[in-house]
Amino acid sequence: MGGAEAPPEDGGPKTEHPGSYQQLAIVEKYEQFLNYVYPIAQNIPRKHGVVRDLFLHAAFAQVEMFIVAGKSAQRSRLYSADAGLAALRFWLRFLADSRRKIITPAQHRTASIVLSEVGKMLGAWIKSAKSGRG
């Protein structure tokens, strides 16, 4: 892989998509969410195993949605990622519901705050895609 260290000086085509920075930043922030909720989800009682598995699947599928959105020039991928965040908010509410109490209100609040930050970043990304790439 010789010569890979020097950036192209001829102004040649860039390999990065316009959403690359947003993708990296959002994935890093989302990783904070995963690092918080994963141990909590792993400790969900076995009798709620189906819900736990569905929640974890949604949580990890979201990473791929961000990556695909960043690698694609399609705004629809950003909207799919936004829909994925809405699904995760649903799962958090479901897990914290007073009839189930699978996670505590404090856990729900903390996870929701981090997820909200991710949502704000995604909202800004969508806005920039509308005005820039669109």
Which CATH number goes with the domain that contains 39?
1.20.1440.60
Q: Are 111 and 32 in contact (CB under 8 A)?
A: no
- Could you tell me the pTM of the whole model? 0.82
Is 54 part of any domain? yes
Distance from C-alpha of 13 to C-alpha of 81, rounded to nearest angstrom = 27
What value does the mean pLDDT take over residues 101-109?
Answer: 97
Is 10 part of any domain? no
The answer to whether the Cα torsion of 69, 31, 42, 101 is positive or negative is negative
Q: What is the pLDDT of residues 9-54, one digit of tens each?
A: 444 444 445 557 778 899 999 999 999 999 999 999 999 999 999 9
1 vs 100, higher pLDDT:
100
The structural domain count of the chain equals 1
Q: What is the pLDDT of residues 60-95, one digit of tens each?
A: 999 999 999 998 878 999 999 999 999 999 999 999
- Boundaries of domain holding 24: 20-133
From 39, 46, 33, 12, select the one nearest 113 (Cα to Cα): 33
Name the amino acid, one letter, at 108. Answer: H
Is 92 part of any domain? yes
Distance from C-alpha of 38 to C-alpha of 58, rounded to nearest angstrom = 12
